[in-house]
């Protein structure tokens, strides 16, 4: 609704401006009743105003076709603006004229000071432009061509990065670390940050999963939430410089992988990717060793690409496992069945339910299993006695070996297929160009075997999906606008004349993005869509008055000059 505030008053501005102009006309004011003058003024602009508002509503229809996260973000925006514009159109043609009849008692016959100054600047420019029409046309098309070149230099992204105030440092330690060691490491990180970076007012950390299980993390993963002092108390000027100082502190901590993000940004990325980072590269396959090798190769590729930051893949090895390997020959010689041995060992480790104890309404299962000391000691477990069919006992070590092996921390799957994820943040570069270069490098340098695949995910997927959808529906919306213009003016030439204002109106927006260093994001695209509607509305207001002057018998040059001067005030007000 905030975006639409300016557009909501456009219809009322055109109506009131035309009423004031008619009331200021001494000839009409002296010969016609006041109410009749207001009625004629409103009727004069009712068709172009209605057409203009309907066109703006049509302009926002493409936003209703967006899907995914961008649809959830901008569909309510489009609906709100469309309903608000419909309401403003109704009020502008009904309530505003009534209020004008009460409030506009005395109207000055002179233009306001600001309008006089604007006309004083505009009239010489208009005269010179009409005298040098070829120069103006050629210059406009040259500027349009330059704009096309500049547009190709503007990066593209999904959502602009917001400054949320505070920071989060995500830390990942060795997978084999226990809770006590993890907490000790977090305390050391906190002390180092607070002692070396005075801009940080406080730090609180969260390690592992929460009690609700909504934020699954291992004991080796920690989120450090940094509460910052006001920017006026910083030694540096920007947050990027502050993050660089924090990186120097984190670089002093050996064995830690870390990344920087913000609270809302982190949640959005988790919602889109399932991981934290601007870009996630998912490698699918069946062999974890091969997946880890490919992940490390991709990490090296990303580190060499300009704009990459906080590139890492979760450490998925280093956990020690005890593996029991049964000697089938020895077991068979003693008459033991492999499945039987496995069931005995499973009962020792996990237990076997022997029955249920009923205590009123409470049912308690009775579980029989080996002692905790047996599960904690490999040597004691190896001395576990197995009973043969003849009643003699033998130790487990006689038919099996207990070996210590290194294994994965966890096995991630997506759609039933094993995967490893490489994440990266992007700095001082647009998302789309970074992803395109990354994809090209991976396709060239990473060789995958049969059964392995790579998928790039992230915000760029939303950006690509939104851009592809808008590339289809925006031309359709422009076609609908053409039909509305043709129905309003009954002229193909006039309809095309108004539509020709659209590309020239975008020149300022493109140069604005380029000069400010901003990227073309989905919100920026919404801004261009709104610009399209305003540009068409101004053209409708201008051409409708040209037709009115033509009906009075004026020659073409006088129509253009008088119409442009007469509509300068409403065009400036609606554009402002």
CATH number for 169? 3.30.70.1430
The helix (H) or strand (E) run that includes residue 25 is none
**CATH code: domain of residue 384:** 3.30.2090.10
Structural domain includes residue 286: no
CA atoms of 484 and 418, how far apart (whole Å): 54
Of 361, 383, 408, which residue constitutes the final position of a domain?
408
Mean pLDDT of all residues in 470-489:
86
Report the pLDDT value the prediction gives residue 145, as an integer from 0 to 100: 92
The pLDDT value given to residue 414: 80
Model confidence, pTM: 0.67
What's the mean pLDDT in 144-156?
88
List the structure tokens of 97.
């004229």
With CA atoms as reference, report the closest residue to 74 among 532, 478, 523, 527: 523
- The Cα 11–Cα 15 span in angstroms is 6
Q: Are strands 317-326 and 417-426 parallel, antiparallel or unpaired?
A: unpaired
Task: Indicate if 493 and 545 belong to the same structural domain.
Answer: yes
In a domain, 314, yes or no: no
Q: Are residues 10 and 149 in the same domain?
A: yes
Q: Is the distance from CB of 305 to CB of 314 less than 8 angstroms?
A: no
- Report the pLDDT value the prediction gives residue 70, as an integer from 0 to 100: 78
Identify the three-state secondary structure at position 433.
helix
Give the separation between CA 230 and CA 2, rounded to whole angstroms: 28
| 217 and 125 belong to one structural domain | no
| Domain boundary residue, one of 261, 279, 294 | 261
Instruction: Determine the structural domain holding residue 203 and report its residue range.
Output: 165-261
**How many domains does one find in the chain?**
3
Residue 312 falls inside a structural domain: no
Cα separation, 267 vs 527, whole angstroms: 25
Q: Which of 521, 525, 435 minimizes the C-alpha distance to 471?
A: 525
Mean pLDDT of 81-103: 89
Residue 90, pLDDT score: 92
What does the DSSP 8-state code read for residue 215? S
Tell me whether residue 452 is in a domain.
Answer: no
**Cα–Cα dist 112/120, whole Å:** 12
- When pLDDT is cut at 50, 70 and 90, the band that residue 575 belongs to is low
pLDDT of residue 138: 93
Is 416 among the domain residues? no
**In terms of domains, do 99 and 171 share one?**
no
Q: What is the CATH number of the domain that holds 146?
A: 1.20.1640.10
Is residue 422 included in any domain, yes or no?
A: no
Residues 183 and 97 in one domain: no
The answer to the question of residue 309 being in a domain is no
Token readout for 139 is 């210059």
359 and 474 fall within a common domain: no
Domain boundary among 408, 438, 472: 408
Are residue 154 and residue 183 in the same domain, yes or no?
Answer: no
Q: How confident is the model at residue 146 (pLDDT cuts 50, 70, 90)?
A: very high
Q: 389 in a domain, yes or no?
A: yes
Q: What is the CA radius of gyration of the chain?
A: 36
Whether the Cβ atoms of residue 55 and residue 484 lie closer than 8 Å to each other = yes
- Host H or E run for residue 37: helix 34-59
- Whether 270 and 435 have beta carbons less than 8 Å apart is answered as no
Shared-domain flag, residues 194 and 150: no
Stretch 530-539: mean pLDDT: 81
Mean pLDDT of the chain: 83
Confidence category of residue 576, pLDDT binned at 50, 70, 90: low
Is the CB of residue 164 less than 8 Å from the CB of residue 529? Answer: no
pLDDT of residue 143: 92
Same domain (yes/no): 373, 500: no
- Rounded CA gap, 552 and 123, in Å? 22
Helices (H), 66-178: 68-103, 113-131, 133-152
- Whether residue 245 sits in one domain with residue 209: yes
Question: What is the DSSP track for 341-382?
Answer: HHHHHHHHHT-EEEEEEEETTEEEEEEE---HHHHH-HHHHH
- Per residue, the 3-state secondary structure of 298-318, as one string, reads HHHHHHCCCCEEEEECCCCEE
Are 97 and 206 contained in the same domain? no
Q: Looking at the structure, do residues 404 and 479 belong to the same domain, yes or no?
A: no
């Amino acid at each position: 609704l905030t975006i639409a505030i300016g557009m909501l008053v456009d219809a009322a501005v055109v109506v009131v401006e035309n009423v004031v102009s008619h009331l200021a006309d001494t000839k009409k004011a002296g010969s016609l009743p006041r109410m009749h003058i207001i009625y004629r003024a409103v009727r004069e602009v009712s068709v172009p105003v209605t057409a203009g508002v309907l066109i703006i509503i049509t302009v926002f229809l493409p936003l209703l076709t967006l899907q995914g996260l961008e649809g959830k973000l901008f569909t309510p925006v489009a609906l709100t603006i469309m309903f608000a514009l419909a309401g403003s159109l109704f009020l502008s043609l009904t309530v505003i004229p009534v209020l004008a009849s009460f409030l506009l008692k005395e109207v000055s016959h002179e233009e306001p000071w600001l309008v006089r100054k604007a006309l004083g600047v505009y009239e010489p420019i208009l005269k010179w432009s009409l005298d040098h029409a070829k120069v103006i046309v050629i210059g406009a098309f040259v500027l349009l061509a330059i704009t096309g070149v500049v547009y190709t230099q503007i990066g593209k992204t999904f959502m602009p990065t917001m400054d949320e105030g505070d920071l989060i440092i995500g830390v990942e330690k060795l997978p084999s670390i226990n809770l006590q060691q993890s907490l000790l490491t977090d305390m050391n990180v906190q002390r180092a940050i607070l002692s070396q970076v005075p801009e940080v007012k406080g730090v609180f950390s969260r390690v592992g999963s929460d009690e609700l299980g909504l934020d699954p993390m291992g004991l080796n993963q920690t989120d450090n939430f940094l509460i910052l002092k006001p920017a006026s108390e910083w030694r540096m000027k920007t947050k990027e410089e502050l993050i660089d100082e924090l990186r120097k502190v984190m670089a002093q901590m050996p064995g830690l992988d870390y990344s920087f993000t913000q609270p809302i940004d982190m949640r959005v990325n988790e919602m889109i990717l399932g991981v934290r980072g601007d870009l996630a590269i998912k490698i699918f396959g069946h062999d974890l060793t091969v997946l880890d090798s490919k992940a490390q190769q991709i990490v090296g590729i990303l580190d060499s690409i300009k704009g990459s930051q906080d590139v890492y893949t979760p450490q998925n090895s280093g956990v020690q496992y005890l593996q029991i390997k049964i000697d089938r020959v020895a077991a068979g010689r003693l008459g033991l069945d492999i499945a039987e041995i496995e069931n005995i060992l499973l009962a020792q480790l996990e237990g076997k339910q022997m029955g249920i104890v009923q205590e009123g309404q409470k049912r308690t299962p009775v579980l029989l299993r080996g002692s905790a000391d047996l599960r904690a000691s490999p040597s004691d477990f190896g001395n576990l006695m197995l009973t043969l069919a003849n009643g003699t006992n033998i130790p487990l070590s006689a038919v099996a070996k207990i070996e210590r092996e290194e294994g994965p921390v966890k096995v991630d799957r997506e759609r039933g297929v094993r995967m490893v994820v490489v994440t990266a943040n992007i700095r001082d570069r647009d998302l789309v160009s970074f992803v395109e270069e990354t994809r090209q490098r991976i396709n060239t340098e990473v060789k995958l075997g049969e059964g392995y695949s790579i998928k790039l995910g992230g915000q760029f997927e939303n950006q690509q999906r939104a851009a592809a959808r808008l590339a289809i529906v925006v031309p359709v919306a422009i076609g609908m606008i053409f039909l509305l213009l043709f129905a309003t003016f009954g002229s193909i030439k006039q309809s095309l004349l108004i539509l020709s204002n659209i590309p020239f109106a975008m020149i300022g927006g493109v140069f604005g993005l380029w000069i400010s260093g901003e990227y073309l994001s989905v919100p920026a695209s919404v801004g261009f869509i709104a610009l399209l509607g305003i540009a068409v509305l101004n053209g409708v207001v201008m051409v409708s008055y040209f037709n009115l002057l033509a009906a009075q018998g004026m020659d073409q040059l006088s129509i253009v000059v008088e119409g442009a001067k007469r509509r300068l005030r409403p065009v400036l007000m609606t554009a402002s």
